[in-house]
Homo-oligomer: A and B are copies of this chain.
Amino acid sequence: MNTLSPAVVLLSGGMDSVTALYHTEKERPVAAALSFEYGAKHNGRELPEAAWHARQLGIRHVVIPLKFMAEHFASALLQGGAAIPKGHYEADSMRQTVVPFRNGIMLSVAAGFAESCGASALVIAAHAGDHAVYPDCRESFMAAMAEAIRQGTYAGVEVLRPFIAMNKAEIAARGALLGVAFERTWSCYVGAEIHCGECGTCVERREAFLDANLPDPTVYAHSGPLPARPAL
């Protein structure tokens, strides 16, 4: 693979994918940053941040509507679904926030998009802390999906995961080095005016800044003590 061939970056507007965009842009041409509007409660908060960063870098930003997911798929993450649970990701309750095969769908659409615009790589900000509660975050899924995309495209599109050996605190540290404006990233699944500070993604975000020894620029509705971390 020519490491200088153009890539498409999956960009949710969260701190990991935004950092991946700045990281990739230093290394190779970025054909586009790709976001998905899939009816998640927090899409309205994260997509404007995604667009903002693409604009900062002069990168084409494309939002793919996947509204059928909110209509036909069951998940607390989606509009019309149950309330977002509080606490750590590992809790059983977080299973409610699974959107069935979401990563498979997004990677597939991104593969077709990449092939259409002459890119030969997809960058996704998967990391070492991704959660086994989501089957489509597991290594066995990612390996098979990457192979399907390689085999199913003329260009043999590669799925790249530059942060797969890093945890979220290390990604935050990388982002800080790259000058990422983290106050323009969105994590909270609740999708209210400000971050709730209590849902699984908010807890992770707070821990990441804490562990990286970085100031956390986020305004949280609840910034009291973090819940105890689950045993490893």
Which A residues lie at the B interface, using CB under 8 A? 62, 64-65, 67-69, 72-74, 98-105, 107-109, 111-113, 115-116, 135-136, 138, 140-141, 144-145, 147-154
Q: Is the CB of B151 within 8 A of A135?
A: yes
Q: Is the CB of A68 within 8 A of B69?
A: no
How far is B68's CA from A67's CA once the two chains are assembled, in angstroms? 11
Q: Is the CB of B153 within 8 A of A101?
A: yes
Q: Taking chain A's interface residues, is the majority helix, strand, or loop, or is none over half, making it mixed?
A: helix
Q: Which residues of B contact A153 (CB under 8 A)?
A: 100-101, 135-136
Q: Which residues of B contact A67 (CB under 8 A)?
A: 65
A68-B109, A104-B149, A105-B109 given; name 7 further pairs at CB < 8 Å.
A73-B112, A100-B115, A101-B109, A104-B108, A105-B108, A108-B109, A141-B148
Q: Among A72, A104, A115, find the residue whose CB has the most chain B CB atoms closer than 10 A.
A: A104
Query: Contact partner of A101 among B138, B144, B149, CB < 8 A?
Result: B149
Q: Which residue on chain B has the smallest CB distance to residue A156?
A: B135
Q: Is the CB of B116 within 8 A of A112?
A: no
Q: Is the CB of A100 within 8 A of B116?
A: yes
How far is B68's CA from A105's CA once the two chains are assembled, in angstroms? 13
Q: Which residues of B contact A138 (CB under 8 A)?
A: 151-152
